[in-house]
């Protein structure tokens, strides 16, 4: 969860080092900004676990129970039902302190790196700006209502997508909520697409793929 472009590039280079050379790589980005330090969102938890293993004789039973999947599910449901200003799922807290322009620059630099790597290996790469509920999804379709923090984030998201669109580096799918239907639900919680909207999104992605080029790559 919480994957963002820096992690995607790390995964891509890991696969290439193992000898896996795909014909096509698709980057679908925009919702997850990453942390202000541009490190995986769960880094602080990993640091705590490593310190516990190295210096404190291991992880306690309470820590293990705390991270059982059922316990994580219960905490997630509880946070969604609460009315305080928690951040929405998929958006690490310190993303809310970042300006959309700063994050957009990070995305563009990652795009340059991914383009260079895929080109060096003869891989076709497609880059998409994804439909983003925190940007332009109809708030009236949510139940329960979203926290106030989302209202703070939306103007930053607008600046962010404006810069990325103007760069000319991405296939822009941010308007798909509109073409899907302004009064038609597409989100099942606060950020994740419904199965039907996922299929709708996939069809738009498929329309951009050059099948003949991919076949020639595999021959």
What are the tens digits of pLDDT across the range 109-139?
999 999 999 999 999 999 999 999 999 999 9
The pTM (predicted TM-score) of the whole model is 0.77
Q: Are 53 and 59 in contact (CB under 8 A)?
A: yes
To the nearest 10°, report the CA torsion of 159, 160, 165, 171. Answer: -140
Name the token pair of 31: 């919702």
Residues 9-64 have pLDDT tens digits of 999 999 999 999 999 999 999 999 988 888 888 888 888 888 888 876 555 656 66
The alpha helices in the chain, defined as continuous H runs, are: 5-17, 43-55, 61-66, 69-81, 100-120, 133-136, 149-167, 176-180, 195-206, 211-218
For 151-172, what is the mean pLDDT?
A: 93
Q: Give the tens place of pLDDT for each residue, 158-168.
A: 999 999 999 99
Tens of pLDDT along 180-207? 999 999 999 989 999 999 999 999 999 9
Answer yes or no: are the C-beta atoms of 167 and 110 closer than 8 Å: no
Which of the four pLDDT bands, split at 50, 70 and 90, describes residue 219? low
In this predicted model, which residue has the larger pLDDT, 39 or 157? 157
């Amino acid at each position: 969860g919480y994957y963002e472009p820096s992690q995607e590039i790390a995964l891509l280079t890991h696969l290439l080092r193992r000898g896996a050379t795909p014909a096509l790589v698709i980057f679908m980005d925009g919702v997850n900004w990453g942390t202000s330090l541009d490190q995986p969102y769960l880094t602080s938890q990993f640091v705590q676990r490593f310190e516990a293993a190295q210096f404190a004789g291991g992880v306690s039973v309470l820590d293990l129970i705390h991270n059982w999947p059922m316990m994580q599910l219960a905490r997630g449901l509880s946070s969604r039902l609460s009315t305080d200003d928690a951040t929405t799922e998929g958006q690490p807290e310190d993303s809310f302190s970042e300006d959309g322009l700063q994050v957009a620059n990070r995305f563009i630099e990652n795009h340059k790196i991914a383009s260079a790597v895929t080109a060096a290996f003869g891989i076709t790469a497609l880059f998409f700006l994804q439909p983003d509920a925190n940007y332009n999804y109809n708030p009236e379709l949510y139940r329960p209502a979203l926290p106030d923090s989302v209202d703070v984030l939306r103007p930053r998201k607008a600046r962010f997508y404006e810069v990325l669109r103007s760069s000319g580096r991405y296939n822009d799918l941010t308007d798909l909520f509109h073409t899907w239907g302004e009064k038609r639900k597409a989100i099942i919680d606060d950020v994740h697409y419904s199965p039907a909207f996922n299929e709708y999104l996939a069809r738009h992605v498929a329309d951009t793929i050059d099948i003949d080029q991919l076949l020639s790559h595999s021959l």
